[in-house]
Structure 1
Amino acid sequence: MKLRHSVRAIILTEDHRVLLCRHVVPDPPDRVVWATPGGGIERGETPLAALRRELREEVGLAIDTDPPHVWHQEFVAPGHLPGYDGVVNDYFLVRTAAFVPRGTMSDDELAAENISEIRWWPLAHIVAYRGPDLFGPRALAASLTALVTHGIPPRPVHLGP
Structure 2
Amino acid sequence: MSSLNLRRSVRAIILTSDDHVLLCRHAVTGPPAGFVWAALGGGIESGETPLAALRRELWEEVGLALDAAPPHVWHQEVVRPGHPPGFDGAINDYFLVRTEVFVPRGTMSDDELAAENISELRWWPLPDIVDYRGPDLFGPRDLATLLTVLVADGAPATPVSIG
Q: TM-score, normalised by structure 2?
A: 0.96
* Counterparts of residues 107-122 of structure 1 (less than 5 Å): 107-122=110-125
Q: Secondary structure at the match of 1:90?
A: strand
- 1:70 maps to 73
Displacement of 1:29 in angstroms is: 5.8
Please list every run of at least 4 consecutive aligned residues from structure 1 whose deviation after the TM superposition is greater than 4 angstroms.
none
The CA distance in 1 between the partners of 2:32 and 2:157, in whole Å, is 40
* Counterparts of residues 15-30 of structure 1 (less than 5 Å): 15-28=18-31, 30=33
Q: Secondary structure at the match of 1:84?
A: coil
Task: Specify the code of the residue in structure 2 equivalent to 1:32.
Answer: F
* Counterparts of residues 59-98 of structure 1 (less than 5 Å): 59-98=62-101
Q: Secondary structure at the match of 2:83?
A: strand
Quote the RMSD (CA, aligned, Å): 0.9
Unmatched tracts of structure 1, length 5 or more = none
Equivalent in 129, 132, 135 of residue 129 of structure 1: 132
Aligned residues: 160
The CA distance in 1 between the partners of 2:106 and 2:52, in whole Å, is 16
Deviations 1:41-75 (A, max 9, x none): 00000000000000000011001100000000000
The CA distance in 2 between the partners of 1:12 and 1:116, in whole Å, is 20
Task: Specify the code of the residue in structure 2 equivalent to 1:54.
Answer: E
The CA distance in 2 between the partners of 1:60 and 1:76, in whole Å, is 31
Task: Specify the code of the residue in structure 1 equivalent to 2:144.
Answer: A
The CA distance in 2 between the partners of 1:106 and 1:27, in whole Å, is 25
The CA distance in 1 between the partners of 2:159 and 2:85, in whole Å, is 27
Q: Which moved more, 1:78-87 or 1:107-116?
A: 78-87
Task: Specify the code of the residue in structure 1 equivalent to 2:78.
Answer: F
Q: TM-score, normalised by structure 1?
A: 0.97
Q: Secondary structure at the match of 2:157?
A: coil
The CA distance in 2 between the partners of 1:32 and 1:97, in whole Å, is 26
The CA distance in 2 between the partners of 1:104 and 1:119, in whole Å, is 17
**Identity of counterpart residues, as a percentage?**
74
Query: In 1, are the aligned partners of 2:73 and 2:158 still within 8 Å (CA)?
Result: yes
Displacement of 1:119 in angstroms is: 0.8
